[in-house]
Structure 1
Amino acid sequence: MSAPLPRSLDPAPGELLPGYLLRMAHRLDLKPLDLGRLCGLVTGSTFPARHMVRLDQDRTRHIADVCRLNPAEVHGLTLAGQAPGYTPLRIDYLGRHQSTVTMANDGWVLTAFSRYCPDCLRDTADLPGGPVWDGAWRLPHTFLCERHQRILDWQCPTCHAPAFSNGYRADGRWRPTQLIPAPAQRLHPARCRHRRSTGPNAACGQGLDQPARPPVRPAAAMTHAHQRLAEAATAADHEVASLGQQVSAQCFFNDIRATVAAVRGTWPMAGELLTDIGPVDTITAHIEALRRPHPERTAALGDGRVARTFGHPPADPLAAADLMAITVAILDNPTGHHTLAHLLSDLPSTSTAHIRLRHHAQHCSPAMTAVIRRSVRFPRKAAGPPALFPQPATHRGRLDPDAISTPLPEHWTAPLDELGAPHRQLRRDAAIRLVQMATGCSRRSAAFHLQIPLGSLHSATISIQAWQKEPGNAAAYQKALHRVAEIARHG
């Protein structure tokens, strides 16, 4: 058990464990690595970044004793303590158990570096131990400083490496993240700790509290998006708006992730649909880099940051600001599901975004789940035999797919009962076809929308296909379906 340190520091508002320990080490003239050992945070010679995400009770008490804090103050130095509404920090995120190690390496949880505001570092320079690194700068959706009305910086003006990062190898891959980069070196908290080489004095050491260029001012849409995301991240027990509905913060952030996938997977369509957002050249450059083959992606930018951000918000805060402004604009609009439907219908079925959306659908808000189920095309091979009688989208925009259920309402089914087909399978098949008539989606996607199990879908497909092959049945069925659709339209 380590003895309490001779002096302590009060945590600054919004400060995370790395910044606090950095200030403490500077005040006591210790290497951050040595302070980490005293606090029980070092394993061998590494300073695991997972401690920034969440701390167990024993380690929390130990840090509190060493640093002369109370456990609540230590908990407040973690992302779990500061962002209780931020969905990716949940243990059961997207239906799978995740550890703190998994979270620390997930670009939706935190960045492998820290964005920063030079003005904030300069404003807090006189605090004991030196300037404060705001914990929110590590969240991937934090891209501006509202106090100084500027887009955050993220690269050292001298070595051009992402700030507060452990750097990357010559092949473009990130080095394993550390709670504090270059922890064996004594440096002022405002100095760049990126390791350009190995050795005792390998860190860059450039001051980050002096801006290298004039600040970039955020557009109104960027500021609005930033406020919406920041409020939702701290709204553990409050509902927020998404697609015209009040939903939990958890659903809202899942909607954000799904919308980002839709926007990025179909770019530049979203920019063409939302012309009032303004210039979006940064998104175009970001997505063009992501679409290059892997060797070209790392060579094109020369620092490996694209590999880390593939599938996650962009590392560049200006590109992140543009992307989140578009994303929030879609979700703020009560009719945003129409925009999403346009985007998702154009999403290639072989794309990574398509696969992610199929998995994320059930974890989003009801409105987002519905639009994904209607619009995302699912692999036909999972649905059994292909439809021999494809269903055209004759009622797109005229029939509400959300009004269709299985079993169908009894007052809809009279035209079907006249056909003499297998009763139960025909009604199930008719519900599927009505969704297809309203949306143009595949049978598999329509069944998914109706929550029909794959086994039941397979049974209906086989039975009704056999019946449709008999002379006259397919044409009679289509006439009956149109009569059912008109009954459904008029209640």
Structure 2
Amino acid sequence: MTTPLPRSLDPAVGEILPGYLLRLAHRLSVQPLELGHLCGLTTGPVFPARHLVRLNDNQAQRVADACRLHPAEAHALTLSGQAPGYTPLRIDYLGRHQSPVTMANDGWVLTAFSRYCPDCLSDTAHLPGGPVWQGSWRLPHTFLCERHNRLLAWQCPACRGPAFSNGYRSDGRWRPTQLIPAPAQRLHPARCRHRPGAGRVAACGQFLDQSSGPPLRPTPAMTHAHRRLAEAATAEAGHEVTSLGQRVSAQWFFNDVRATISALHGSWPLAQDAFAEFGSMDTVAAHVEALRRTHREHTGALGDGRVARTFGHPPADTLPAATLMALTVTILDDPSGHHTLAQFLSALPSTSTAHIRLRQHAPHCSPAMTEAIRGSVRLPRKAAGQPAFFPQPPTHRGRLDPRTIPAVLPEHWAAPLDGLDAPRRQLRRDAAIRLVQMATGRSRRSAALYLEIPLGSLQSSTVTIRAWQKHPGNAEAYQNALHRVAEIAIAEGNPRGASAR
């Protein structure tokens, strides 16, 4: 059993594990790494970053026991606990099973560093243990502080490195990411933990709770985009947002965001010409130019490979990130935005990185985005996903437990299907089969047998629903509703009266 610490802290609103442990270590006057040992999060000299995104039940219990918390509070100190609607933090992202280690090294989760608001750090400096580092600052779509109406900072004003980071080597490559940068050093939570230079150099130590100059103010488009992205990231199961004129799940919306950014990067400077009224487009142009440099150029000691990332990732630098996200949301907010996207998509060379990524992402985007990709990039129909009727892709593998899916869906599970003008009994049977396919990747016949649905009933529902889906708009509406049913099933778990299989 883990021995409780002599003193602890209540987690602050929006705080996640790195900031919480940093405050607690400062209060107890111990190294963050030593605190990690006491909480059972590490046994060696490295503080694994995977704990940032998810804790298993045993880890959460040990953290709770040591820090005098409830296990639910420990789970809430992860990014997955605070951003349930953010797709890159899901186990079943883009049809692939990903581990916490994979997520902790994904460019769509800025685990290598954290942005920050100097004013927020100053405002919370009076709290026990020191100021609070907000968990949302770790996510690429969080680029401004609405409370103080400013874009977030990301560099230390003294060393000019990413402030809350383990730093990068002299050749421009990131040092291995850790849950808390420089974990063996005792530093006030407001101090820069970036380690400039080579070898076992000490962290910078500059205080970050004071601005070094006037803050950058967001444009109205940036503020609107930030709110739209934050709404989707914190969305619970069944919540819908708008993308390209359709109501879709938060999962589809964020996949649309990623596809749009790939299209903008790959076709640049078309967007710069089409949206000339957007401010700060020159910063995005500089970012894209850095991405297009050769490997040798952008990983050299004087290069900027440490912040450029890749074509599929948003910028690390806050201003181009804010501009690019605002442009992306502007396109997705437009019901005719697929026409704009078609111009960018059609300009992509078939061998480009963006083209290849879009081929992989298309089946996991909203129906409108998938159709835009198919029409412009000329993907094979199998790769394009919707509106293909069969098979149903395993989009929820690892999240949806097939043992909780009954052959007859409970009424409240099937509520999203009730608005569809389809034969009710066959549609619900078909939906149950598809849920098993979404959870397991089984064939349609195998999924029906798993649910103990007679093959005659399978054939009847297949013929009926296939014919119904051929009418314009039905396939897209059905997939949208089906994803909402899946989210309800995930949130509830085993339905009342359903037996586990």
The alignment's TM-score, normalised by the length of structure 1, stands at 0.76
CA distance in 1, matches of 2:356, 2:309: 19
- Matched ranges for 1:139-288 at <5 A: 139-197=139-197, 202-237=202-237, 238-288=239-289
- 2:27 matched residue in structure 1: 27
Task: Give, as a single letter, the amino acid of the residue that structure 1 aligns with 2:174.
Answer: W
Matched, 1:65 2:77: no
Task: Give, as a single letter, the amino acid of the residue that structure 2 aligns with 1:44.
Answer: G
- 2:45 matched residue in structure 1: 45
Decide which structure has the larger Cα Rg and report it: 1
- More off after superposition, 76-85 vs 305-314: 305-314
Q: In 2, are the aligned partners of 1:75 and 1:81 still within 8 Å (CA)?
A: yes
Q: CA RMSD in A?
A: 2.3
In 2 relative to 1, CA 199–283 (structure 1 residues): closer, same or farther, beyond 3 Å? closer
- More off after superposition, 268-277 vs 62-71: 268-277
- Provide the secondary structure at the position in 2 that maps to 1:50: helix
Q: In 2, are the aligned partners of 1:277 and 1:325 still within 8 Å (CA)?
A: no
In 2 relative to 1, CA 303–353 (structure 1 residues): closer, same or farther, beyond 3 Å? closer
CA distance in 1, matches of 2:329, 2:272: 13
- 1:290 matched residue in structure 2: 291
Deviations 1:212-250 (A, max 9, x none): 111000000000011100110011320000000000000
Q: In 1, are the aligned partners of 2:182 and 2:193 still within 8 Å (CA)?
A: yes
CA distance in 1, matches of 2:179, 2:160: 20
CA distance in 2, matches of 1:302, 1:11: 39
CA distance in 2, matches of 1:225, 1:114: 20
- 1:346 matched residue in structure 2: 347
Deviations 1:383-420 (A, max 9, x none): 9xxxxxxxxxxxxxxxxxx99999xxxxxxxxxxxxxx
Matched, 1:77 2:86: no
CA distance in 2, matches of 1:213, 1:10: 33
Percent identity reads: 74
Task: Give, as a single letter, the amino acid of the residue that structure 2 aligns with 1:296.
Answer: E
Gaps of 5+ in 1: 384-401, 407-491
The Cα shift of 1:295 comes to: 1.4
- Provide the secondary structure at the position in 1 that maps to 2:97: coil
- 1:413 matched residue in structure 2: none
CA distance in 2, matches of 1:239, 1:301: 45
CA distance in 1, matches of 2:283, 2:165: 23
The Cα shift of 1:199 comes to: 7.6
CA distance in 2, matches of 1:252, 1:164: 29
CA distance in 2, matches of 1:55, 1:110: 18
Task: Give, as a single letter, the amino acid of the residue that structure 2 aligns with 1:266.
Answer: S
CA distance in 2, matches of 1:109, 1:306: 13
In 2 relative to 1, CA 236–405 (structure 1 residues): closer, same or farther, beyond 3 Å? closer
- 1:363 matched residue in structure 2: 364
In 2 relative to 1, CA 336–364 (structure 1 residues): closer, same or farther, beyond 3 Å? same
- Runs of 4+ in structure 1 displaced over 2 angstroms? 196-201, 274-279, 298-304, 306-311, 402-406
CA distance in 2, matches of 1:141, 1:343: 22
Matched, 1:2 2:2: yes
CA distance in 2, matches of 1:45, 1:103: 21
- More off after superposition, 202-211 vs 245-254: 202-211
CA distance in 2, matches of 1:85, 1:315: 21
- Provide the secondary structure at the position in 1 that maps to 2:241: strand
CA distance in 1, matches of 2:329, 2:309: 23
Q: In 2, are the aligned partners of 1:280 and 1:322 still within 8 Å (CA)?
A: yes
The Cα shift of 1:110 comes to: 2.9
In 2 relative to 1, CA 260–3 (structure 1 residues): closer, same or farther, beyond 3 Å? same
Task: Give, as a single letter, the amino acid of the residue that structure 1 aligns with 2:367.
Answer: P
The Cα shift of 1:37 comes to: 0.2
Paired positions, count? 387
Task: Give, as a single letter, the amino acid of the residue that structure 1 aligns with 2:50.
Answer: R
CA distance in 1, matches of 2:87, 2:388: 31
CA distance in 1, matches of 2:171, 2:387: 54
Deviations 1:330-384 (A, max 9, x none): 00000000000111011111110000001110100000000101110359xx99x
The Cα shift of 1:200 comes to: 7.5
CA distance in 1, matches of 2:144, 2:163: 15
Q: In 2, are the aligned partners of 1:269 and 1:343 still within 8 Å (CA)?
A: yes
Deviations 1:149-188 (A, max 9, x none): 0011100111111011111112211111000011111100
- Provide the secondary structure at the position in 2 that maps to 1:275: coil
Q: In 2, are the aligned partners of 1:168 and 1:303 still within 8 Å (CA)?
A: no
CA distance in 2, matches of 1:275, 1:116: 29
- 1:448 matched residue in structure 2: none
Deviations 1:294-313 (A, max 9, x none): 11123485353245354211
- 2:99 matched residue in structure 1: 99
Deviations 1:67-98 (A, max 9, x none): 00001111110011000000011111101110
CA distance in 2, matches of 1:42, 1:342: 50
Task: Give, as a single letter, the amino acid of the residue that structure 1 aligns with 2:41.
Answer: L
Task: Give, as a single letter, the amino acid of the residue that structure 1 aligns with 2:9.
Answer: L
The Cα shift of 1:279 comes to: 3.8
